[in-house]
Structure 1
């Protein structure tokens, strides 16, 4: 295989190279890491890679047999939304929408809960919150129609 300067490649992880200490051990250990950029071609079978600083004492020149060509895929690009950070380096999580409702029955009372999807998080990270606390703090999540329906649905709310 031949690579050009600036190409991206995956690096084969082997026990002897000292790269196996990063990540999972055993059968589930990834066989290749990367992609890493080729900085220069040393000879026809050796290439210098741009390795991250956490690789420490690992030499950055590798034989072509340890490399696999990286083919760009738009699914590999991670899009990250802007997060508003306050002066003291904090930010407030804001709810996006209510996904579900339920009443948790205890021995002598019932608690109404809502499943909330938070901004900058996916559905799989939604959390169950107390409905009355969410209604107090974020009334915009509960429209007038929803409020009427919730009052009927959550009659046992404490």
Structure 2
């Protein structure tokens, strides 16, 4: 009765890049910040195996050895960026002592010579 009649099921493929949703559970590994400013998704990770239409196995890096690699599809989100250089990892963020984000140019894309 309250379901969206135009909703389509999300399909995933092996090798596709996805983000993993971070849940604010107690006792779970924290990625950087805590509370409201904590990241909602981490990744991207590639899908290693499809167990069924609701369960996927992710290829997680060695830093996440304490996290189980099997997830329901409701906890992952498709990575819509095709270019890998557009993805910013958590290690690339620079924060000073007053907890402010240091912003600066990453690379020069175009130069105009006069």
TM band (smaller chain)? 0.5 to 0.7
Q: Alignment RMSD, CA only? A: 2.4
Higher strand share: 1
| Structure 2 residue corresponding to 1:76, chosen from 68, 71, 86 | 86
Q: Which structure would you say has the larger Rg?
A: 1
After superposition, the Cα gap between the structure-2 partners of 1:77 and 1:15, relative to the gap in structure 1 and judged at 3 Å, is closer
- Kindly indicate whether structure 1 or structure 2 has the higher relative contact order, using CA contacts under 8 Å at least 6 residues apart: 2
Alignment of 1:3-42 (within 5 A): 3-16=12-25, 18-19=28-29, 21-42=30-51
Count of residues in correspondence between the two structures:
80
Q: TM-score, normalised by structure 2?
A: 0.61
Higher helix share: 1
Structure-1 separation of matches of 2:75 and 2:87: 24
Q: TM-score, normalised by structure 1?
A: 0.45
Residue 71 (structure 1) shift: 1.1
Residue 14 (structure 1) shift: 0.8
Q: Cα deviation per residue 1:60-88 (whole Å; 9 max; x = unaligned)?
A: 0000000110012435168xxxxxxxxxx
In the alignment, is residue 55 of structure 1 matched against residue 64 of structure 2? yes
After superposition, the Cα gap between the structure-2 partners of 1:66 and 1:77, relative to the gap in structure 1 and judged at 3 Å, is closer
In the alignment, is residue 44 of structure 1 matched against residue 30 of structure 2? no
Flag structure 1 segments of 5+ consecutive residues without an equivalent: 79-121, 124-158
Alignment of 1:109-120 (within 5 A): none
Superposition misfits of 4+ residues, deviation over 4 angstroms: none
Q: Cα deviation per residue 1:1-55 (whole Å; 9 max; x = unaligned)?
A: 1100000000000133824x12111111010001100001011100000111111
